Amino acid sequence: MRKIHLFNPDTDYALASGLNFYTPPASVLALRSRLALLPSLWASPGDSILLLDPAPGTHEDLVGYLPAARKGLTLIPASTLSPDTPPPSDLIPTPWGWNRALRTRLLTLGFAPSLLPSEQTLDTLRSLSHRRSAGTFNRLLGSPYAAEELFSVEEVREYVEHHPDAWLKAPWSSSGRGIISCGELQEHHILPWARGIIRRQGSVMAERGADRVLDFASEWICSGGETRFEGLSVFRTSSRGKYHGNLSLRQHLLEEEIRKAAPGWDGSLICRQKEVLDELIAPFYDGPLGIDMLADRHGRVRPCVEINLRMTMGHVALFSGTDFAQEFNLLQ
Q: What is the pLDDT of residue 173?
A: 82
Helix, strand, coil fractions of the chain, as percent rounded to 5:
40, 25, 35
Q: How many helices (H) and strands (E) are present in the chain, helices listed first?
A: 11, 13
Q: Which residue has the higher pLDDT, 187 or 97?
A: 97
Q: How far apart are CA 50 and CA 2, in angstroms?
A: 13
Q: What is the pLDDT of residue 56?
A: 77
Q: Which pLDDT tens digit goes with each residue over 60-111?
A: 888 888 889 999 999 999 999 999 999 999 999 999 999 999 999 999 999 9
The answer to whether the beta carbons of residues 261 and 213 sit under 8 Å apart is yes
Which amino acid appears at position 218 of this protein?
S
Which amino acid appears at position 96 of this protein?
W
CATH of 148-207, one of 3.30.1490.20, 3.30.300.20, 1.10.3720.10, 3.30.559.10: 3.30.1490.20
Q: Tell me: pLDDT of 243 over 90.
A: no
Q: Which residue has the higher pLDDT, 56 or 306?
A: 306
Residues 130-139+210-331: name the CATH superfamily.
ATP-grasp fold, B domain (3.30.470.20)
Query: Would you list the domain boundaries of the chain?
Result: 2-126, 130-139+210-331, 148-207
Average pLDDT of every residue of the chain = 91
